[in-house]
Amino acid sequence: MADTVDPVLLEQIKTILRRDLKLGLTTPIADDMPLVGGEMDLDSLDILLLVSSIEKQFGFKIPSEAVGRWVFQNVATIAKYVQDNHEVLKTPGFVPAGVAAPIDWLARLPHGPEFRYVSRVDEVVPGQSARGAWVVSGAEAFFKGHFPGRPIVPGVLLVEAMAQMAGLAAPIEGAKSGMVVQFDVRFDQPVVPPAEITLTATVTRSMGQLVQCDVAASAANVVAARGSVTLHLE
């Protein structure tokens, strides 16, 4: 059991709340803000939606009895519950009874955490498509220089994020890594942090170890970048 809650996990829970309750990306949510009976005052349908989203994102089931107890008091208690149970799920060989072991798609990317521009993977149809998101808070180190006082997400990192999603959509049997050999991307709209950037990749053509994908990145339902990426998978 962890004594403290990962601040990144707290922000992930808050992002889910803002998205599901349509609060807006910049709405402040305190860690100890009561979810029921306070300013937010979630009803049973809100709680159900929140439970489903958390289960989908973190890959485990939350028992009904846990929902009705202390878990959903506030953001911090939810994050603590997710953190503790997620640690159990990461134990080698552990699979909850009656639940298929989830695929850790992020772990299948060949990049380390420092160069991973995918925060969440929502859906993968191997060899066909992939969809997920990159969540930027504005506190990332690269924003200090791009641009000071008026930060925007660097276009080159949007391309890399889309390419990483393409790498999940376009696996070749036995392939463990991929390299971008060509891309043709158009930038339609700058992305200003904080933002949740939706990433999509659809396989359009493959030839040997080369795979071409149509890719797109959107923020607040507005397309920021789109085009194609060609990968060489090894």
Give catalytic residues, as residue numbers. 146
Spatial neighbors of 27 by CB under 8 A, at least 6 apart, are 18
Cα–chain center distance at 206: 27
**Contact of 87 with 2, CB cutoff 8 Å:** yes
Residue 107 has, within 13 A of its CA and on its CB side, a CA count of 4
The first and second tokens of residue 88, run together, are: 């159990």
CA–CA distance, 132 with 130 (Å, rounded to integer): 7
Spatial neighbors of 109 by CB under 8 A, at least 6 apart, are 116, 118, 164, 167, 168
Q: Print burial letters for 94-133: b (CB count within 10 Å at least 16), e (below 16).
A: eeeeeeeeeeebbeebeeeeeeebbbbbeebeeeebbbbb
The first and second tokens of residue 1, run together, are: 């059991």
